[in-house]
């Protein structure tokens, strides 16, 4: 659990955490943008006319997942601009964190589907299913399983009691 830096008050911690989140999004966004750009041009290539109906639906699902993932990953920047100087930073931080987690999940789905689609074109449907499942599992473990398993091992975790984050985004103990 992040208890902040020494001599850091609550507002400084929120500022630091927001900067950290926005920097993390700067790392994720170029990859998502490249994937989305690739997917935008794919239907206009000559070989796309030869894909099966099933492959078109897989492509479409990956395309939509990439678009929704990109939207969620970009949304914290828009939220920040629209709520600038409205004393809403902590609530924005919690919302942006949820958007980033959801956006990354959609990107993982899009990437697994694209791997399945390409594998299907090259090797057929059975290897495609295996490849998509393995890649999806890989993303699930490294993006979600590993961090969440570390959270369970953290001796300083404070989730013995449920947190209530409905009060302006601030974490308060129920009681």
Tokens linked to 152: 């369970």
Q: Where are the beta strands (DSSP E) in the chain?
A: 163-167, 170-173
Residue 76 lies in a domain: yes
Report pLDDT digits (tens) over 4-33: 667 778 888 888 888 888 888 888 888 899
Residue 168 lies in a domain: no
Residue 137 lies in a domain: yes
Domain count, the chain: 1
Range of the domain at 94: 11-42+51-154
Cα(157)–Cα(106) distance, integer angstroms: 28
Report pLDDT digits (tens) over 134-145: 999 999 999 999
Report pLDDT digits (tens) over 63-121: 999 999 999 999 988 887 887 777 778 888 899 999 999 999 999 999 999 999 999 99
Tokens linked to 76: 């914290």
Residue 113 lies in a domain: yes
CB 65 within 8 A of CB 110: yes
Residue 171 lies in a domain: no
Residue 162 lies in a domain: no
Cα(116)–Cα(150) distance, integer angstroms: 30
Residue 164 lies in a domain: no
């Amino acid at each position: 659990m992040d208890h902040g830096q020494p001599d850091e008050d609550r507002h400084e911690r929120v500022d630091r955490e927001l900067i950290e989140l926005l920097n993390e999004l700067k790392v994720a966004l170029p990859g998502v943008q490249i994937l989305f750009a690739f997917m935008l041009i794919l239907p206009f290539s000559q070989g796309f006319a030869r894909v099966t109906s099933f492959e078109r639906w897989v492509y479409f699902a990956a395309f939509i997942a990439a678009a929704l993932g990109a939207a969620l990953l970009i949304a914290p920047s828009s939220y920040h601009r629209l709520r600038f100087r409205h004393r809403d930073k902590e609530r924005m931080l919690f919302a942006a964190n949820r958007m980033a987690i959801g956006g990354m999940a959609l990107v993982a789905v899009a990437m697994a589907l694209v791997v399945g689609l390409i594998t299907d074109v090259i090797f057929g449907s059975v290897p495609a299913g295996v490849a998509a499942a393995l890649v999806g599992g890989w993303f699930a473990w490294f993006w979600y399983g590993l961090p969440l398993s570390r959270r369970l091992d953290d001796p300083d975790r404070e989730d013995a009691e449920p947190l209530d984050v409905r009060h302006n985004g601030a974490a308060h103990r129920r009681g």
